[in-house]
Structure 1
C-alpha cells in the first residue's frame, strides 16, 4: 500500500457509486470524500476493507497502513483547530474487536457502533470530548461479526424486544455511500422478530436505504434545530430544509420516523425560532399524515462540561456558544462527574413550550423524553 503523502487541495471527485448517482443533487453534494484513508492490516482481510481499498484507488485517494485504528499519527496541522479540521478529512478503516455493546439509555437498550465521528463540524457536539484526540472518522469492516453478536443479545432477552442505537458514537448515514453497512444492518434487523434498530442523522443521503427490507423494525430519526443554531454552530451539515425533505422520503418508504430536537438553546427569540421549525416540519409532513407508527420526538437541552468547554474553545476559538457557568445549573452525573444545564425554571418552561407546540401540530406524536 502506498505510503501516505499529502496531496494538493482540490475539489473532491464524485463517488463512482451507482446508488449514489441516482440520488438528488442536493443529497450527492453532502457525500463525504476523505482526503486520506488509513487501514489496519487486519481490515484488508474483510470484503468491506477490500471494497474501500478499491474505491480509494478509483478516486486516487492516498492510503496508508497502520497498526491500530486507535492510534493515528502524523496528521497535518499546527493548532488544535487545524488538527481537528484535518482529522475530519481522515477516514480510518479498522476491525472492532470488543464486541460487548454498552448500554445506551435513554435512546435504546444497547449501542451498536458501525463507525465513530462524522464529517460535520458541530461546535457543541458531545463527541468533541468522548472522542478526545481521535475526531477522525472510523468505520468497522467486521459488520457480520457484530450482527452475529447482536443476534445473541436478542436471543438472550427474548421474548422482550431489544433495541440497538447505531448513532451513539457517530453518524452512520454520512459514510453509507462508502460502506453500505447501514443497509446491511437495517435488513438484518428487518428479519429479527425481537430486535429493533434506531439511528439519528443530520445527513440526507437516504436514497440507498429507501429500498431496504426494514419491515418497520428501524426507526429513522433526523436531528433538527432552529435556523440560527444550525447556521451558527452546525458547520458542514445539510440545511434543515434538506433534512426534512429527506425525512419525507424516509416516511414514504414506510420507516417509523422520529426527530431529535437538540441541543435546544435559549437566546433572544428562541421560542419563535423553534415554533417556526415545527411549522415547517408540519407543512412538509402534511401530505403523508397520518404517520404509522406515530412520529416520535426527543428533546435535549444544551449542556456542556468543563472539559468540553476547554476543547471547544481550542477548536473553535471564535465560538459564540453560550457556555457561561454562572448562568447554568451544575448537574452531577456518574462517578462524581457533572455537566452544566439550564436552571430548573428555564428547563421547565422550555419543556412545556416545546412539548405543547409539538402536540398541537402532531397530536398523535410520542414525546419520548426531555432531558
Structure 2
C-alpha cells in the first residue's frame, strides 16, 4: 500500500540531552562555540565556563569504570578541534575523507566501535572552530581514493564522512554543526558530497535547508530484536520514517545496516528489517538510495572496554567463535569466519535486490 500523500505531522523524536555542559576558554573565542553554549542554555542546561582548556576530572571514582562511563556519557564539552582534525584522513570504504564535527556519542550501543578508539572516559567533545574545519575542505577536492577515483561511485564526487567519531544528528540540538555544514556543502558549487549516518530521527530542522543534493543522510539500522544493544537511540521505525522525510525533501539517502549480527534467527530478523525499509520508502519520487553492509567485529581492546561498560550485555563477543583478521597496522580484529561471511553476504544481496531494486550497494565489509 502506498503511503498517504498528504503531509504528515512532524516527528517528535526524543532528544538525549547531557546533564553537564562545559565550555573551554579557547572554544568561547569562536562564534560557533558561543552559539553552542547559547543553544544549550536555551534548552535549559547550565553551561560551565572553564578558565582554561583542560577539562575537569569526572566526579565518579576513576576506579569504577561503569560509574565513570555513565558520567562521561552525560557530559558534553565544547572544545577547539586540534590541528590534526584539520588534516583530513582517508576513511575507506565509506568516503574519501573523514571530517569530524565532534568526538563521542550520546548513545549506549553494546557494540560501539569507538570503545577501542577513544582515549579516556567517553565525554562527547563538540568542536567550536567550525570555520577552520570548513576552510580546510576545498584543499581535498578531487584528491580522495574511494569515490573521487572510483567508476562505481564517481557520481558522488569527493565525499566527506561526518559520522566516524560521532553521531552528528544525536547532538545536533546542542551543536547546530550539522545544519551549518549542510548549508556549506549546498553552497559549494563542486562535485562533492557530505555524508552522515545516524541512529536518531530528529531531522525536522534539516528538511528545509538548501542542501542542493550534496548531503546524503543514512539511517543506521538493525532489527527490532536487537534494540537492547542500542540503548538511548531512536526506535528503528522512527529512523526509517526520518529517512523517508529526508528523501521527500530531496536529499539522497541510504541505509547503513550495521553491525550485522549473526545471532540465532538472523535471517528472519534481517528479512523483516529490509521489508520495513521497503515499506517506509515506498512511493518516494526520485529516490536516490544506497546501502552499506557492515558485519560485527571487535578488537581485544574494544571487547575489554565494552565488557566494563555493559557487564550484563548478551552480545556475543567470543574470540573462540570468530576468525582473526590482521589490519595493515598489524592489529587484530575478530570477525565472522569465511563461510559465515559468505552466507551473510549472499543473503543480504538477494534480499536487497528483491525488496529494494533501486538501491545501490556501496560495499560489504
Fold agreement, TM-score > 0.5: yes
Indicate how the Cα distance of structure 1 residues 25 and 351 shifts in structure 2: closer, same or farther if over 3 A, else same: closer
Q: Give the structure 2 partner of residue 279 of structure 1.
A: 275
Matching of residue 97 in structure 1 with residue 97 in structure 2 = no
Q: Give the structure 2 partner of residue 67 of structure 1.
A: 52
State the secondary structure of the residue aligned to 1:204: coil
Higher share of residues assigned helix:
1
State the secondary structure of the residue aligned to 1:174: coil
Within the candidate set 220, 223, 246, 2:220 is matched to 223
For these two proteins, the number of residue pairs brought into alignment is 342
Q: CA deviation at 1:175?
A: 1.5
State the secondary structure of the residue aligned to 2:196: strand
Q: Give the structure 1 partner of residue 192 of structure 2.
A: 195
Indicate how the Cα distance of structure 1 residues 323 and 73 shifts in structure 2: closer, same or farther if over 3 A, else same: same
Q: CA deviation at 1:244?
A: 0.5
Indicate how the Cα distance of structure 1 residues 72 and 261 shifts in structure 2: closer, same or farther if over 3 A, else same: farther
Q: Give the structure 2 partner of residue 239 of structure 1.
A: 235
Q: CA deviation at 1:359?
A: 0.7
Q: Distance in 2 between matches of 1:274 and 1:290?
A: 26
TM-score relative to the length of structure 2: 0.89
Q: CA deviation at 1:64?
A: 4.1
Unaligned runs of 5+ in 1: 1-22
Contact preservation (8 Å) 1:56, 1:63: no
Contact preservation (8 Å) 2:99, 2:161: yes
Indicate how the Cα distance of structure 1 residues 56 and 251 shifts in structure 2: closer, same or farther if over 3 A, else same: closer
Q: Distance in 2 between matches of 1:244 and 1:75?
A: 38
State the secondary structure of the residue aligned to 1:184: helix
Q: Give the structure 2 partner of residue 138 of structure 1.
A: 125
Q: How does 1:78-227 map to 2 (within 5 A)?
A: 79-98=64-83, 99-154=86-141, 161-192=157-188, 193-227=190-224
Contact preservation (8 Å) 1:39, 1:66: no
Unaligned runs of 5+ in 2: 1-8, 150-156
Within the candidate set 314, 326, 329, 2:320 is matched to 326
Indicate how the Cα distance of structure 1 residues 60 and 356 shifts in structure 2: closer, same or farther if over 3 A, else same: closer
Contact preservation (8 Å) 2:21, 2:45: no
Indicate how the Cα distance of structure 1 residues 134 and 334 shifts in structure 2: closer, same or farther if over 3 A, else same: farther
Matching of residue 39 in structure 1 with residue 26 in structure 2 = no
Indicate how the Cα distance of structure 1 residues 136 and 354 shifts in structure 2: closer, same or farther if over 3 A, else same: same
Q: CA deviation at 1:56?
A: 4.3
Q: CA deviation at 1:224?
A: 0.4
State the secondary structure of the residue aligned to 1:171: coil
Q: CA deviation at 1:365?
A: 1.1
Q: CA deviation at 1:76?
A: 2.5
